[in-house]
Amino acid sequence: MGGTVDILMYHAIDDADGPTSIAPQVFADQMAALADSGLPVIGMDDVRHHLAHGTGRAVSITFDDGFQDFADRAVPVLERHGFGAMVYLVSGLVGGKENWAHCHTPPRRLMGWDTIRSLRKRGFDFGNHTCTHVNLAEHPLGEVEDQLDLAQNQIEAELGFRPQHMAPPYGASNAAVRALFADRFDTSVGVRLGVAREGDDRFDLPRLEMFYFTDIRRWRDELAGRGASYLAARRVARRVRQSLGV
Ligand SMILES: [Zn+2]
Domain ranges, residue 164: 4-244
How far does the centroid of ligand 1 lie from the alpha carbon of residue 69, in Å?
14
**Residues β-bridged to residue 58:** 5
What integer pLDDT is reported at residue 70 of this predicted model?
Answer: 98
Q: How many CA atoms lie within 13 A of 4 on its CB side?
A: 13
How far does the centroid of ligand 1 lie from the alpha carbon of residue 115, in Å?
19
What integer pLDDT is reported at residue 52 of this predicted model?
Answer: 96
How far does the centroid of ligand 1 lie from the alpha carbon of residue 53, in Å?
30
Residue type at position 209: E
> What does the DSSP assignment read for 4-29?
EEEEEEE-EESS-SSTTEE-HHHHHH
Q: Per-10-residue mean pLDDT for the chain, 246 residues long?
A: 94 92 97 97 98 96 98 98 98 96 89 98 98 97 98 98 97 97 97 94 97 96 91 85 66
- Tens digit of pLDDT for each residue in 118-172? 999 999 999 999 999 999 999 999 999 999 999 999 999 999 999 999 999 999 9
What integer pLDDT is reported at residue 235 of this predicted model?
Answer: 87
How far does the centroid of ligand 1 lie from the alpha carbon of residue 167, in Å?
8
All residues with CB under 5 Å from ion ligand 1 = 64-65, 169
How far does the centroid of ligand 1 lie from the alpha carbon of residue 229, in Å?
28
How far does the centroid of ligand 1 lie from the alpha carbon of residue 125, in Å?
16
What integer pLDDT is reported at residue 245 of this predicted model?
Answer: 59
CATH number of the domain within which 205 lies: 3.20.20.370
How far does the centroid of ligand 1 lie from the alpha carbon of residue 8, in Å?
14
Structural domains in the chain (count): 1
What integer pLDDT is reported at residue 1 of this predicted model?
Answer: 72
Using CA atoms, how far residue 91 sits from 83, 96, 170, 183, in Å, is: 24, 10, 16, 19
Give me the torsion for CA of 60, 1, 128, 177, rounded to 10°: -140
What is the Cα–Cα distance from 13 to 242, expressed in whole angstroms? Answer: 26
Percent of the chain at pLDDT exceeding 90? 86
How far does the centroid of ligand 1 lie from the alpha carbon of residue 60, in Å?
18
